[in-house]
A and B are shown apart, each in its own frame.
Chain A
Amino acid sequence: MEHLLEIKNIETCFKTDGQLVKAVDKVSMYINPGEIVGIVGESGSGKSVTMMSSLQLISSPGKVTGGEVYIQGNENNMLEYGPESEEMRHMRGGKVSMIFQEPMTSLNPVLTIGYQIQENIMEHLHLGKEEAKKRTIEMLKMVNIPDAEQRFDYYPQQFSGGMRQRIMIAMAMSSEPTILVADEATTALDVTTQAQLLEMIRDIAKKTNTAVFIVTHNLGIVARFAERIYVMYSGSVVEMTDAGRLFANPEHPYTRALLRAIPRLDDPRDRILIPIDGLPPNPATRPEYCPFYERCEYRMDKCKGMKKPELFELEPGHFAACHLTEEEKALKAAEIAGKELKKAPRIEAGEELCLEVKNVRKYFPIYKGMMRKKVGEVKAIEDINFKVRKGETLGIVGESGCGKTTLARCIMRVYRPEEGEIFFGGTDIANFSDKQLYPYRKRIAMIFQDPFSSLDPRQTAESIVGESLLLHKLVKNREEYEKKVDELFRIVGLDPALKYRVPHEFSGGQRQRIGIARALSSNPDMIICDEPISALDVSIQAQIINLLEELQAKLGLAYLFIAHDLAVVKHISNRILVMYLGRVVEIAECEELYRNTLHPYTKTLLSAVPVADPVVEAQRERVPIRGEVPSLTNRPSGCPFHDRCPHALDRCKKEVPMLKDTGNGHEVACFLYDK
């Protein structure tokens, strides 16, 4: 027995519509004691199914149809024991613990968290109830849950998402496993919480010599945390090596393409993203030959004639699954490098203002009881001040619940702000009535996060895109309408022949293109993009980012780009506005913000974002953050960040710092820069 855990040629099928679909096709993996292994791949590439199959957690209609799993301490293939067998249950939970993606739904809502951890300890460590409770409290303390003794009897819904995930970590580690599987454990959380948790997992794992599988779609996370990495594509491992070599010297065409497609926080300003064309294959119609063939820039005719490539050891400890020889690959690489890259078009924003927001404030009342008595307020946003020039992109970043969407809705005038002015094209629309707003509606458009739910499933693409043409009477007759719709389809890179399809007949990326075409139809001056790409796969994101940039250059649009992915925001924006707890804490031009970060919160935020390069990661300065984001109902007095700020002064507790220009249009709200 060489490894702590070894998975050999595991194969899992799902039965859909009477058809057997291979979700995972002969995947092999291993892990050694104390090692941190990353598994990266786009959604649907089979990361989770591989992990769940090895623990026999796949339930119907799925079935593990082949392969072997060996764990240290047992000579036999674990898959030969039934999923409910004593041996399997001992491995699952006892030797291999899992943490799942959704912190909000992964804990049982009707059992106390204490009970749920205690149960795990009693099952695997065979301790008595009292001892198990003692250990539970120790575990809760280890993951920094304050007042662990009292909170033993709390239910999951009494904790925030980040805290629940820490409870999951405590639970997973409570049975003293030798392997921890963190399956997208931090994906649903904010970057700062994400960094906090992953660092905690790493520290605990190193202290207890626990091996960790970090399963994620985020290349930055594996670059920061993993020692060895598996890259998965369409149900197979396509490359495996240590983290350093994977990023410095990627061998598989997919890995190479992926690294060229994702924006990085440390990118130079003129970095060009090169999207991967097409879509991952549907597993039901996956070809016999290389599954990456259709999208591969390196492909040669021979690839199609041969079976799916097997993993091949190119140099000691570096495996890739590709038919090309080193020479062929080098030749192709030179050819690709020689291709002219389309320069990311940029227009210089003029001085003319498109939008100016002054002192905007929006509170939501909280009602309670049968009589709907008002008992308080959610101070969603306060003292918001910023400007957007024509043709400029202003990125808005901040953690979930900090008021980004509320701000967008105030500008769209879905909400009427309680206070403040919103100048759009020089007119204050903050207090306009619906009728007065009518001519402005078509000048501000919006693109939403979820291309699945923001489109009416019964409407055809053509009527979705053409709706506001008719609404705002922008076309004179049917003919002009058809022409305009076709043109919009072409602008966003869709074939007008597809226009009579309904949304579910499009892929996620195509749907987002329809969303963009709809936004463009009324010929707006400004588009508010609220998380426009976060629901898309990494290989598709670049296509949409490039499209948005192209459209801006062509049409002179101003964008308000809201997203939690800082690397994306930095890539697309001219300036960035950072929000914390409903207030603007810093605004600066992108490079300036990155090189000369002023606000303590922005510093922690930027340092929390992992960069997809282990070399860069190793050199970066870490600015840890303590505590949790407080709720908006009891926002700390004074500076909203003071209870988490390492530099807090006495004054910070009493006074609220205002945004001040420190030169170069770099504005910050912090007393450290008060002269």
Chain B
Amino acid sequence: MTTYVAKRTGQMILIIFLISIFTFLLVSMIPGDPVYAMLGSEISQEEYDRVFYELKLDQPVIQRYFSWLFGAMRGDWGQSTQFHMPTLDVLMERVPITLFFSLSAFVISIPLGILFGVISAVHRGKTADTVVTLIANITACLPQFWIALLVMYIFAMKLGWLPSYGFTWFSQDPVLAVKQTIMPLFCLALGGIATTTRQTRSSMLEVIRQDYVRTARSKGLSQKKVIYLHALKNALIPVITILGMRLGSMLAGSMFVESVFNIPGMGSLFVKAIQSRDIPVVQACVLVTALVSCIINLLTDILYAVVDPRVRFE
């Protein structure tokens, strides 16, 4: 198990390293002169020179990369050209908001999805199954922005119960925070619940047919033990495999929902940084996203190995 974790961690570090190279090369991949690309062509020579040295464009690529990498590791992500403050500070404001949304949506949707999936598989063909499957199928097909606009229209415009935009931390104003969080979180979690439900259901139905479930039943175990111990533990394996992807899509969804509800998270930051060619911020955003997804993947792999002993002695 330890070697397995060590091996996976090693692989993760390698991947992050590769991504950092790619991220760094983003600068040189922008067509034309990076300085003009950033500031527009109508700048004075002094300005040009200043930014040129600031970006250390006089040094060879390798050297630039390593000084950027070591800087990044020390927390020096460069100066945001758009906000005129250190990139790290900009990120520190935005990243937690996005993480808050995606993680809470994740934490809400997975257990609920699994629960609904199991219920619907166990009552296959009965009313409970029909209702759950129908709702899950419909929500899984609806585009997220449509749901976002719909709930916004009903609860903010028509009923006026909830504010239609903005974000406040719970510690600052609990009532407003809750009100502002409900709609975006709902939109984010809904799709996750639907997909997890569908997946758990089909994987449960598959597992229930297996010989070892028949064995468990032939031992006279109670229905509860057969379902939740023998069947579910197996049925969760495919669900766990794509947990990483789930959280990844939560991250992407969060960036999207942020822009609908005008929440100052990483999503809106990323979009703005690209529009204004704020390269240090773009780099930081890519790297942070990559880092988060790698860590999630590592965690799912470990979880996977805990649930499925077959992985451990590969």
Contact = CB atoms under 8 A, between A and B. Distances in A.
A158 B308 CA distance: 13
A211 B48 CA distance: 94
Given A100-B211, A105-B211, A110 B307 contact: yes
Contacts of A111: 229-230, 233
Contact of A123 (B219, B237, B310): B219
A119 B219 CA distance: 9
Given A100-B211, A105-B210, A92 B218 contact: yes
A57 B215 CA distance: 10
Contact of B220 (A60, A93, A102, A157): A93
A624 B308 CA distance: 38
Given A89-B221, A90-B220, A98-B218, A105 B212 contact: yes
B37 interface: no
Contacts of A110: 233-234, 237, 307-309
Interface in B268-314: 307-310, 313
Interface in B218-276: 218-223, 225, 229-230, 233-234, 237
B218 A108 contact: no
A190 to B, nearest CB: 20
Contacts of B217: 57, 92
A587 to B, nearest CB: 39
Contacts of A98: 215, 218
Given A108-B230, A109-B234, A110-B233, A89 B309 contact: no
B221 A107 contact: no
Contacts of A120: 219
A106 B211 contact: yes
Given A110-B234, A110-B307, A157-B310, A89 B212 contact: no
Contacts of B233: 108, 110-111
Contact of A100 (B214, B225, B307, B310): B214
A90 B219 CA distance: 9
B211 A102 contact: yes
A168 B212 CA distance: 11
Given A100-B211, A102-B211, A109 B221 contact: no
B220 A89 contact: yes
Contacts of A105: 210-212
For the residues of B in contact with A, the DSSP-based class is: helix
Contacts of B220: 88-94, 123-124
A261 interface: no
Contacts of A171: 219
A219 interface: no
Contacts of B310: 109, 155, 157
B216 interface: yes
Contacts of B308: 109-110
Nearest to B219: A93
Interface in A142-189: 155, 157-158, 168, 171, 175
Interface in A84-133: 84, 88-94, 97-98, 100, 102, 105-111, 119-120, 123-124
A285 to B, nearest CB: 27
A84 B222 CA distance: 7
B122 to A, nearest CB: 12
B223 A84 contact: yes
Contacts of B124: 60
Contacts of B211: 100, 102, 105-106
Contacts of A102: 211
Contacts of A668: none
Interface in A46-87: 55, 57, 60, 84
Contacts of B229: 111
Contacts of A100: 211, 214-215, 218
A614 to B, nearest CB: 30
A406 to B, nearest CB: 24
Contacts of B125: 60
28 contacts: A55-B218, A60-B125, A84-B223, A88-B220, A89-B220, A89-B222, A92-B217, A92-B219, A93-B219, A97-B218, A100-B218, A105-B210, A106-B214, A106-B215, A109-B234, A109-B309, A109-B310, A110-B233, A110-B234, A110-B308, A110-B309, A111-B230, A119-B225, A123-B219, A123-B220, A123-B221, A157-B310, A157-B313
What 4 A-B pairs come out closest when comparing CB atoms?
A93-B220, A89-B220, A93-B219, A105-B211
